[in-house]
Structure formats: structure tokens, C-alpha cells
Amino acid sequence: MLLFLVFIGTFFSILNSSMVNVALPTIMIEFAIDIRSSTWLYTGYMLPYAIAMSIFGSLGDIYSPKRIFMLGVFIFAMGSLSCSIAGSFWMLLASRTIQALGAAAIMTNSMVLVITPFEQNKRSAILGWWGMISSAGSLVGPTLGGFLTDHIGWHSIFYINLPFAAAILLLGGSYIPSIPKTSSTKIFDYQGSIYLTVSLVSLLLAIIVGSTNGWLTKTTVPLLGLFLLFACLLFRQESRSSQPLISLALLQNSSFAATVAVGFFQGAALFGSMLLIPMYLQHVHDFSPTYAGMLVLPLSISMMIMSPIMGKLAAPPNFKLLIVSGMAILAIGIWIFSRLSLQSPYWLLAAALVTTGIGLGVSSTPLTSNLINVVPQSHMGMASGLFNMIRYLGGVIGSTIFGAFIQQRVAAYIIPLTLSGYTAPLAEKMALGKAFPEVFLMGAFTAAIGMIAAFFTGIPKKIKSL
């Protein structure tokens, strides 16, 4: 029952994100927003999600993963309810932020809850199944989200979460065991959490503004300065604190640092590229949300198949080989996307999706297994939170830069097409058809950098003290 309840929470937090991606074009029409504005629904979710990961991970170490997980389910449910009744773009964006906070608490602590009851040699297999459940959320999300958007309306993709959240809240108290505290004297690093939040918000806002308005504008430069100031304050606080929010000893371990670096580039390549696939299918090929959701099934199916297999194969001597291989396959998969055109057959899209899914499946479970083999149990929440925070920060940065880039490329292509006599709708479609492959090339290059970082993961050595 423990695995069932925790897996359900994980499944729905991921399911909802993948459903929203398919519903974005419909939401754009209802609220009359462009592609750049619509990516705020993604960035506005991923930004608080990434930042809150590290905070909720440390809170889980202090107050128990069960309590923070259950709190996350409640917050996620409230955010879902608010999203389902949103009548404006800004209300929806604010509600997505609430959802993100709940999802961060769920994801960070679910991993700790599912592996702690098991022996070390069984944990990779459990993580494989956990990865399969995550993939299942990505698998069902596009198809279910497309169907609900087409036949009921986009609001329905949010209130579908409520009965399942209610079930976890009713049963979790009895069936999810509490993990004993390793220390009764732990205190939360409030100063560190403030410095972390301000520095990351400043950095990401600077990237968002800089990628669209320029890097030397009167808005971007102060934001970068604010980031540097609070990053320095964070470093000073964490190096002096006896109970830091982020232990610097973690990052001094070369295997852990390389694992986090790979996670960053994997997140940037994956989320930056995959956010655009539903838009590509609906805007360029005029597919319905339901059909577009069905077309991307091969990615999640291949990842779902590979995750438990990697759970069985993942052992400390194999981690490096599997992570390097997975990142290489991921880079190839995203590169295949760059070969797509308006006339491309479906088999080419399917090949890109399957290859990308295999790459994710091969790399993700060994990455997480490498993490838990390095970190002591008492700091598992902190490590999980830090890893996921960095990974999803990569996703926010990747999606922001890729989104701004495609907007700029479309603007560059559409003017000469319009002057050549094409109608505005056709010129826009042709411009998008030319711009999307260029973005996918950026994604493939990003994944290739992650592959290089994977060579430094090595054989994990347990950190003895933090």
C-alpha cells in the first residue's frame, strides 16, 4: 500500500504537467496570448517547482518525509482546484504556482519514502519502478489531456486530480509509515532558503528578460547583480551554518557534482525541447490536441519500458557507462527531431520519440541510483531536493531560452515569406516549420554536453559526514 499511494502521488504530479503541455494551444486561444506568453504557464510552474525542491527536501529530513509528502498532496490539490476554476490567464498562472509547490514536496519526498524501507541492493530496482510510474504519467498525460481538452474543456485536466489527492490524504496517514528522525536537534535554515529563493528568482528572471530584451538592458543588469549578491550571501551562509539548507560537502564529492551537472543538462535538453513538440504538432501540422497527444506516445512507452530494465542493470560499476550511453542516445533522439519538416512521414517523428525515450530511460535510473549510493540516509531529502532542483532549473532555463529563440527565428522567417506573397497564416506555419528544427538542434547540443559531464560520474563513493 505504501508504494501504491506514493506512486499515485508521483503519477498525478507528473501527469498534470504533461497534460498542460498538450492543452497550451487551446489555452492560448481562450486567453488570446502568444507562444512567448504561454510558456509562462510552464515557466511559472517550473520555477517555483525547482526552487521549492531543495527547501522541501530539507524539511523532509527535519520533520519526516511522510509529513512533507502529505502536505504536498494537500497543496497540490488546492492548486488543482484553483486552476480548474481559473477565469483569467493571471489566475491560472498563480494557481499553477501553488500546484508547483505541492508537486515539489511530493516528488522530493516520494523518492525517500519508496527506497528507505528496502536494502541498499534492492533500491535501484525500486527506483526503476518509480521511474516507470513517472514515465506512465508522461505516457497517459498527453493522450488524456488531449481527450479532456477536446471533449470537456481544458479546465477538466486540473479537477481530475482531486479525487486521487483525496484518497491519498484519507489513506496515507494509516498506510504510509513514518521514517524515524536521525536527529531531534535539526533546525531549518531559514536564511539559506531566503537567499536561495531570491538568487534563483533573480537569475531566472534575468534569463527570461535578457533572452527577449537583451542582456545589457537596465532591467537585466540589475537582476544579474541581485543574483550575484544573494548567491554570495547563500554561499557564505551555507559554509558557516552547522545545519545548512544545502551542504557544500555534497558538491565537493566529484561523483555527486557530476551527477547534478548531468541532471542539469538533461533537464535543459528534455524540457526545453519537449515543451515544443505539442506546439509543433498542433501549429505546424494542424493536429487536434487528442491526436497530438496520441502521436507522442512512443516517447513515454519506450521510457516506461526501459526504466525497470535499468533498475535491474544499475549497479555502481555500471552507472557511468549507462549514464553516458543514455545521454548519447538522448542527444541522437533530439537531433532526429531537427530533421523533421512539413512533409516528414510519421515514422521519422516516431523514431525521434522512441530514441529520446530510450535515452531518458537508460540515463535517468542510474543517475538517481548514483545519487543514493553517495549520500547518507540522514541527508537523503537534501540530496534529492538539490538534484531535482538543479535538474528542473535546467528545464526552466532551457525552455525559456528555447522559447525566446524560436520566437526570434519565426519573426526572422515570417517577414520575407509575407513579402513573397504568402498569406499570414501560411507564412506563420512555414516560419514555424523552419524554426522548430533549429531549436531541436540546440537541444541535441545541450544533451551532448550532458554526455560529456557523465564521463566524470565515476564509481560513487559514500560521503561519510556532512
Q: What is the CATH number of the domain that holds 344?
A: 1.20.1250.20
Residue 138 confidence (pLDDT): 65
On whether the CB atoms of residues 93 and 102 are closer than 8 A, the answer is no
- Range among 33-47, 134-148, 181-195, 196-210 rated most confident: 196-210
What does the pLDDT average to over 145-158?
A: 87
Written as nine digits, the cell of 395 is 528545464
What is the spatial distance between Cα 90 and Cα 95, in angstroms, rounded to a whole number? 9
Q: Which domain holds residue 78?
A: 2-175+245-454
Residue 414 predicted with pLDDT over 80: yes
pLDDT given at position 453: 92
Nearest to 391 by CA among 356, 425, 367, 416: 367
Q: Phi and psi of 25, rounded to 5°?
A: -60, -35
Count structural domains, the chain. 1
CA distance 23 to 40: 14
Select from 24, 14, 202, 212 the least CA-distant residue to 102.
14
Instruction: Tell me the whole-structure pTM to 2 decimals.
Output: 0.78
Confidence of residue 36 (pLDDT cuts 50, 70, 90): low
In a domain, 396, yes or no: yes
* pLDDT of amino acid 226: 94
Q: pLDDT category, 249, cuts 50, 70, 90?
A: confident
Which pLDDT does position 448 carry in this prediction? 95
Q: How confident is the model at residue 460, as a pLDDT?
A: 56
Whole-number Å distance between alpha carbons of 319 and 368: 10
Question: Looking at residues 73-89, what average pLDDT do you find?
Answer: 91
- pLDDT attached to residue 74: 94
Rounded distance between C-alpha atoms, residue 40 and residue 200, angstroms: 16
Q: What integer pLDDT is reported at residue 2 of this predicted model?
A: 66
Q: Is residue 211 a part of any domain in this protein? A: no
The SS3 of residue 214 is: coil
CA distance 277 to 256: 31
Whether residue 123 is predicted with pLDDT greater than 80 in this model: the reply is no
- Poorest-pLDDT segment among 5-14, 355-364, 419-428: 5-14
Q: How far apart are CA 437 and CA 31, in angstroms?
A: 27
Residue 204 domain flag: no
Q: Which one, of 304, 305, 323, 306, lies nearest residue 315 by Cα?
A: 323
342 CB-contact burial (10 Å; exposed 0-12 / middle 13-18 / buried 19+): exposed
Report if residue 230 sits inside a domain: no
Rounded mean pLDDT of the chain? 82
Which residue in 107, 92, 122 sits closest to 12, CA to CA? 107
Q: What pLDDT was estimated at residue 208? A: 77
How many CA atoms within 13 Å lie on the side-chain side of 97? 11
C-alpha dihedral (42, 361, 453, 255), degrees to nearest 10: 110
The pLDDT value given to residue 95: 92
Is 80 domain-assigned?
Answer: yes
Quick one: DSSP state of residue 155? T
Look at residue 465 in the predicted model and tell me its pLDDT.
Answer: 54
pLDDT on residue 139: 64
**Selection from 379, 393, 394 nearest residue 49 by Cα:** 393
**pLDDT higher for 443 or 211?**
443
Checking if the pLDDT of 184 tops 60, the result is no
Highest mean pLDDT among 149-153, 323-327, 371-375, 397-401 belongs to: 323-327
Q: Is residue 194, in this structure, part of any structural domain at all?
A: no
pLDDT of res. 355: 93
Tens of pLDDT, residue by residue over 157-172, are 898 889 888 988 888 8
Tell me if 182 is assigned to some domain.
Answer: no
Strands (E), 128-283: none
Residues 6+ apart with CB under 8 A from 245: 54, 55, 58, 188, 189, 192, 193, 196, 238, 382
3-state class of 159 per DSSP? helix
pLDDT of 155 above 60: yes
Distance in angstroms (rounded) separating the CA atoms of residues 11 and 141: 10
Residue 330 pLDDT grade (very low, low, confident, very high; cuts 50, 70, 90):
very high
**Quick one: cell of 108?**
522530493
Amino acid in the structure at residue 79: G
Choose from 198-212, 307-321, 433-447 the range with maximum mean pLDDT.
433-447
Q: In the predicted model, what is the mean pLDDT of residues 124-148? A: 73
Is 302 within the bounds of a domain? yes
